[in-house]
Amino acid sequence: MLYRYVGKPMFFRMDPERAHHLVLDGMATVAKVPGSLALLRGMYGVKEEAMLATDLFGLHFHSPIGLAAGLDKNATSVEALSSVGFGFIEVGTVTPVGQSGNEKPRMFRLPEDEALINRMGFNNDGADMLSTRLKRLHNYAVPVFVNIGKNKVTPNEQANEDYLTCIRTLYDVANLFVVNISSPNTPNLRNLQHGDELRSLLEAVVREMDTQNKASGNNKAVLVKIAPDVTDEELAHMTDTIVTSGVNGIIATNTTLSRMGTTHANRLETGGLSGKPLTERSTEVIRQVYRLTEGKLPIIGSGGVFTAKDAYAHICAGASLVEIYTSFIYRGPEITRELAQGIKQLLEQDGYKHISEAVGRDHK
């Protein structure tokens, strides 16, 4: 309640990107104060419930609600964010070399639509800096996913090496990798989702992960994050290539270029849209991917989750875990507990004893 009635009105009077960095910097500072993380856990933490706890990708998730990539690109606030109820945190997108991203302004709110548009362009400090930062962290107990991409100046013909460089640089500090080929804000990046380019990239990524896993004795997973802006035929081909490659799972979906369902004037801004207008489409993509893979490839749902019913729809469509981003901006840290408690209630209403029983229910 504190965020919605005090924090949000103040932040929403600021430029969105300035507010974004102010919050992250504030959380990073708070994490350094003795006792602050325990206080955050007391205020916003989500206690582990046997009904909601999940083991997947060789990792343990005390809650099915995670933070999507894009909020904490440079892992500056992982300790604080891991204390406000998230079951996992996805940092990045990170590229081999740090880059400034696209020109400002590049982030826009659509308050009436409960949506955001961004055209950030993979602004980040680079893989070496992210590695250094994650090695320094100690006070977090949730899995950290690292979302990796290519530098803007790297042509698609050489994109494979950018992804492999990120894996080599960050392997020791990542619990899991996410291959981002679906952001609409890096020129030609989405071309990597299709045909021979996708096959070549994923084969190279899987080979590198196998090499790193064998050398370390670990068994870390790699996922692919896909776009919602594909036809049914394109999605079928893409999913087949992903399954054949040996990748461990899919995140569905990234932001959309569609403006369907939006009314705010900022809908005319270019970039990827996230938030409530994406809810139905992301759920439908999850449903299709689950059907195409016959439920054999784990899915993380991402896109438009604002309520427990939204999250539950993702789960019933086929998602084992769910990510949020825009709703965290609009609703604040209270949302992680609200979603977890709401999902538990919905599971109980439907007679389920564990969340895994509801995964893919729409197909049963």
Residues that are catalytic: 183
Residue at token pair 């991402």: 302
39 and 2 Cβ atoms separated by less than 8 Å: no
Closest to 171 in 3D by CA, of 137, 222, 246, 126: 222
Q: What is the DSSP string of 106-132?
A: -EEEEGGGTEEEE---S-EEEHHHHHH
Q: Which pairing describes strands 272-275 and 221-226: parallel, antiparallel, or unpaired?
A: unpaired
Q: Give dist(CA 289, CA 96) in Å, integer.
A: 30
Q: Enter the DSSP assignment of 105.
A: P
226 and 272 Cβ atoms separated by less than 8 Å: no
Q: Give dist(CA 186, CA 100) in Å, integer.
A: 12
Beta bridge partner(s), residue 275: 115
Q: Vertex 261, ends 257 and 264: CA angle to 5°?
A: 85
Beta bridge partner(s), residue 55: 60
322 and 315 Cβ atoms separated by less than 8 Å: yes
Q: Give dist(CA 163, CA 208) in Å, integer.
A: 10
If phi over 0 gives left and psi between -120 and 50 gives alpha, with beta otherwise, what is residue 130?
alpha
SS3 74: coil
Q: Give dist(CA 119, CA 278) in Å, integer.
A: 17
Q: Give dist(CA 163, CA 189) in Å, integer.
A: 12
